[in-house]
Amino acid sequence: MKNKSGKKIMKRLFEYIGRYIPAGIFVLIFAALSVAFSLYIPVLTGRAVDLLTPGPGNIDMEAVLVAAGKVGIAALISAFFQYLMSRLGNHITYHVVSDIRNDAMKKIQELSISYLDSHRTGDILSRMITDADTFADGLLMGFTQLFTGVMTIVGTLIFMVRLNPLIALLVVLITPLSLVVARFIATRSHSMFKAQSEARGLLTELSEEMISSQKTVRVFSYEDEAIEQFEKADDKLCNASLKAIFISSLTNPSTRFVNSCVYALVGVGGAIYSIGGGISVGGLTAFLGYASQYTKPFNEISGVVTEFQNALVCAGRIFELIDEESVIAEAAEPVAKDSVNGNVDIENVDFSYVPDRPLIEGLNVNVSSGQRIAIVGPTGCGKTTIINLLMRFYEPIKGCIMVDGRDIREISRKDLRNCYGMVLQETWLKSGTIMDNIRMGKPEASDEEVIEAAKASHAHGFIKRLENGYDTVIGEDGEGLSQGQKQLLCISRVMLALPPMLILDEATSSIDTRTELKIQSAFAKLMKGRTSFIVAHRLSTIKEADLILVMKDGHVIETGNHESLLASKGFYYDLYTAQYSKA
């Protein structure tokens, strides 16, 4: 997807900021009050200086002290409103970023599995975390410095014109040069910040991959290669960051140079004008104060512009994710499925992950309610792909899949997936207690139901041996448990949910033989009366299946039960004898 233009990104930002208009109005009010009291200080300072100019013996110290006291009070009031503005600006900024992150997370939950399979996890994380933080910093600078800067410029300009229009005109004519310099630099830093953000995403993705796969890295002695890849990605980020920061860092000194020239001209011109009696010493002091306040916001605004370029790039990357279209869309009026009999028909289905590399072509399968269907074949033949199609993780290119005579595209995804209970070879557990992980299968289940499900899956024994039993807290992906124990917990979920249809993809691959025999017995009871799809490599586990689909190169080449397929001495016979010829 092409990078969004700055105007489109700004429009999207205003949509989020618009939710906090009342708070934004108060930010403007507090900014105006803070600027008003800060602009009153040079007036009081000028009056104090005029009170000191008559000479020794003629100075009204009481009036000078009163003026000094007013300066202190004005400074305190200005600082108080500045504090309120900053607090409210922080509130708006981080709520806006929170809303954007929430929308990004919702989009991830809606995106098809194909999108997540084809995009780097680390890059997605970088968009949601690092880019969002960078965007927050830029937006915060806008609230804290842009508002006060613009108001200060307008306010000081009004005061300077009232004090001396000619000197004020000189200041107005020269100062915009700093904005021209800032814009010149900012336009050239945008592409560099974009490259920096992309390099940061690549480094995050590589770090996440290497840390999560640390066991594999060490088993294959891949440490040196991993370090080399990381160093290359780190150098790329370093170079991109150096270029972006160097160019953007030129903004502040360049604008400060222009503003210093303005201040010097005002000082020299004002002094000459004061000698001629055109302005008092106190008035010149006040004017110099305003000139300093007038030029200072240009430095701040130039910094905001530079930082905002980086923020816009980061916001654009997040919006690209939020605006990504879901490949598999929900039906306009999805049909709710309260009850399912379990009749599944796959009719003339074609599918491929890559357009020019067909995988499944013309697949036809008819499954009656309560049947146990086994899917076997060599690696890469399309066994797991059929499961992905049944669950609508992927969409067929051609043909349709029917459940009880209804096209699954007309059924809501939530209701469709609630019809299935899945146990895969790859386990998934969340951070939390053992009880919480099993209860995912049926959130409203009681503790007693969870324990009964664990007993049915033969997980109860090892759970009771844990330090806190069912209240034991495990880390992400079951940290602290063996692979077999993690798989037993996943089986317990299905035992608890008791769905009308089952999908078992090498469900007992990580379990010892003795426990496997017990679980197979429990599965036999569970599958009774339920339509079940069983993906297996060990053919001994599917002897009792009602129908076996033998797949090769995306096609079902043989169907039948175990005995009939062996008798035909076809491809299934070759697979079976290859596994058990020694036995």
Q: What percent of the chain has pLDDT over 70?
A: 88
Listed in sequence order, the residues at least 6 apart from 116 whose beta carbon sits closer than 8 Å to its beta carbon are 108, 124
524-541: pLDDT as tens digits: 777 888 888 888 777 767
162-220: pLDDT as tens digits: 777 777 777 777 777 776 776 777 677 767 877 887 888 788 878 877 877 777 788 77
Assess contact for 549 and 365: CB atoms under 8 A: yes
Domains in the chain: ranges and CATH: 6-202+239-322 (1.20.1560.10), 344-580 (3.40.50.300)
Mean pLDDT value across the chain: 80
Q: What is the DSSP letter of 3?
A: P
Q: Report the b/e string of 354-386 with b at 16+ CB within 10 A.
A: eeeeebbbebebebeebbbbbbbbeeebbbbbb
Q: Which three-class secondary structure state does DSSP give residue 484?
A: helix
Is the model's pLDDT at 57 over the cut of 70? no
Count of CA atoms in the C-beta half-sphere (13 A) of 397: 15
Taking residues 397-404, what's their average pLDDT?
Answer: 89
Most confident of 353-357, 396-400, 503-507: 396-400
Assess contact for 172 and 157: CB atoms under 8 A: yes
CA distances from 31 to 26, 78, 142, 155, 294 (A): 8, 9, 12, 12, 16
285-343: pLDDT as tens digits: 777 777 777 777 776 776 677 677 778 888 888 888 888 876 556 666 666 666 778 88
What is the C-alpha to C-alpha distance for residues 363 and 32, in angstroms, rounded to an integer? 70
Give the pLDDT band (50/70/90) at residue 3: very low
**Which residues are paired to 76 by β-bridges?**
none
Q: Residue 525: exposed, middle, or buried by beta-carbon count in 10 A (0-12, 13-18, 19+)?
A: exposed
Give the pLDDT band (50/70/90) at residue 76: very high
Stated pTM of the model: 0.64
For the CA atoms of 294, 299, 303, 305, the dihedral, rounded to the nearest 10 degrees, stands at 60
Which DSSP string do the residues of 423-468 spell out, in sequence order?
E-SS----SEEHHHHHHTT-TT--HHHHHHHHHHTT-HHHHHHSTT
Q: CA angle 516-517-520, nearest 5°?
A: 80
